[in-house]
Chains A and B, each alone.
Chain A
Amino acid sequence: MSELNQNAENAAASPERRRFIGAATATAAGLAIVPGVMLYEVAHGRAEDQAASSAVRWGMLVDATKCATGCDDCVTACNTENGLTPVAESAHPKQAPQWIRKLELQDPLTQMETNLPMMCQHCAEPPCVDVCPTGASFKRADGLVLVNRHTCIGCRYCMMACPYKARSLVHESLNDTQKPDVPRGIGCVESCTFCVQKIDRGDGTTACVEACTASGHNALIFGDMNDPESEISKKLRELPTKQVRADLNLNLGVRYHGI
């Protein structure tokens, strides 16, 4: 809990500013014919010509108590959205890039099973960024940890540095099978981008979260952890959550409940 409070204090936006934004939003919502839509746009929309801002920190809450055994809708949705070949379809499954993996953990003593998706944790202090020799591995202002594929040389230091095995190297030519919104290609490292193309389009959510919600499991919540009124911030205040390998002090953008 103290950790969460600390994060809130570290947040870039001052409380005054938040209150002001809150008030402005409320007014806009009051005037709008469709309040939900207005609120949504004020909260997440960013003009095309506006850079990502550190006033926002995107994050995800995984409720492992709701994550269902045998379900991997999040993985499928990620593959579809980002144009990844499903592992099962890949000619070389062991080296097939994976941005999100479904894990089933079992406590060897009690046999208790835990389900959870594992992906880039979008650390505030990312080790992958520390080790990158070209600066290609970087943290965007709004907390997304990304690979600038234009400067990535495929050395894979970041893959070694990542405590979560979250990154993959593209080993094979993709032969123009990529999605226009998600360029990716041979010789570069890649990982979960929190669907940066969707965020920058103003969707305010990711493909995996949409899929989890659509399946009715509601195990994933996405949002701005710097906005105290966002669903994720409210849930983080309510539920006990953990960061995986919290001992590393990386201040993760993905929090787990029920692990």
Chain B
Amino acid sequence: MAVNLKHFLALGAVVLTTAALAWAGSDTQPKAKGAPQPVISKAVKGEQCVEPTEYMRRNHMVVLDGHRDKAVIEGIRTKKYSLKECINCHASEKTGSVAAAKDDFCISCHSYTSVKIDCFECHSTKPKGSIAMHPLNAETAHLKHKLAANTKTTVSAEEMAGVAQ
């Protein structure tokens, strides 16, 4: 009895493994049956990426890393590898963002591969709108009076000088 059960289990394992291998090997597996795939939404703008798609898929973090030091430390503002430009082309039409919903461009792949990036703690996930172009727009003008009332402090010259000590 014990022997029979062992044989049965071994056979079962072989069958299952073969099936799994066969399934994994086929390229035309129907999505519904397979593991979930990341959604790579099509870029909204542009015919192609800043480098061949194949290269970008693997190395986008390398170009971003290189450019950010050049931009921040040296002040080199070329557009090619600028994160702002990635966002311009890749922001989703639905959310207007690269990282607002789970299917957005900079989210989907990463959650699929358990990559966590912190870029969007600081960087806006949306392309620059027209408002950001005008520093003196009406956006916060209505706050002016409230602000004036709150930030007015009287500091003596001595206190001022004492700030350093």
Cβ B147 vs Cβ A185 within 8 A: no
Binds B, one of A8-16, A34-42, A46-54, A221-229: A46-54
How many angstroms from the CA of A201 to the CA of B135 in the assembled complex? Answer: 13
- Assess whether B146 is interfacial by the CB under 8 Å rule: yes
Cβ A102 vs Cβ B151 within 8 A: yes
* Among candidates A107, A201, A245, residue contacting B161 with C-beta atoms closer than 8 Å: A245
Q: Which residues of B sit under 8 angstroms from A153, Cβ to Cβ?
A: none
Closest to A187 in B: B121
Interface magnitude class on chain B: 35 or more
Residues of chain B from 116 to 132 with CB closer than 8 A to chain A in the complex: 120-128, 132
A141 to chain B, nearest CB (A): 7
The answer to whether A79 and B132 touch (CB under 8 A), given A105-B160, A188-B122, is no
The answer to whether A72 and B147 touch (CB under 8 A), given A51-B75, A183-B123, is yes
Cβ B136 vs Cβ A211 within 8 A: yes
Cβ B136 vs Cβ A77 within 8 A: yes
Closest to B70 in A: A51
Cβ A49 vs Cβ B151 within 8 A: no
The answer to whether A76 and B73 touch (CB under 8 A), given A178-B122, A210-B135, A211-B136, is no
The answer to whether A183 and B124 touch (CB under 8 A), given A88-B150, A105-B160, is yes
B4 to chain A, nearest CB (A): 61
The answer to whether A89 and B124 touch (CB under 8 A), given A48-B77, A104-B155, is no
The answer to whether A176 and B125 touch (CB under 8 A), given A48-B76, A164-B163, is yes
Cβ A142 vs Cβ B75 within 8 A: yes
How many angstroms from the CA of A195 to the CA of B15 in the assembled complex? Answer: 66
- Assess whether A138 is interfacial by the CB under 8 Å rule: yes
The answer to whether A75 and B72 touch (CB under 8 A), given A178-B123, A245-B164, is no
How many angstroms from the CA of A186 to the CA of B119 in the assembled complex? Answer: 11
- Assess whether B152 is interfacial by the CB under 8 Å rule: yes
Q: Can you list 26 residue pairs at the A/B interface with Cβ under 8 Å?
A: A48-B79, A51-B75, A52-B74, A72-B151, A75-B151, A76-B144, A76-B147, A88-B147, A103-B153, A103-B155, A103-B160, A105-B156, A107-B157, A108-B156, A140-B74, A141-B74, A148-B72, A150-B68, A150-B69, A174-B121, A176-B120, A176-B125, A176-B126, A184-B122, A210-B135, A245-B164
Q: What residues make up the interface of A, taking CB atoms closer than 8 Å to B?
A: 46, 48-52, 70-73, 75-77, 79-81, 86-89, 93, 101-108, 114, 138, 140-142, 146, 148-150, 163-165, 173-174, 176, 178-181, 183-188, 196, 198, 200-201, 207, 210-211, 214, 244-245, 248
Q: What residues make up the interface of B, taking CB atoms closer than 8 Å to A?
A: 68-70, 72-79, 84, 87, 97, 100, 120-128, 132, 135-137, 139-141, 143-144, 146-158, 160-161, 163-164
The 3 A-B residue pairs with the shortest CB-CB distance, nearest first, are A185-B122, A52-B75, A163-B164
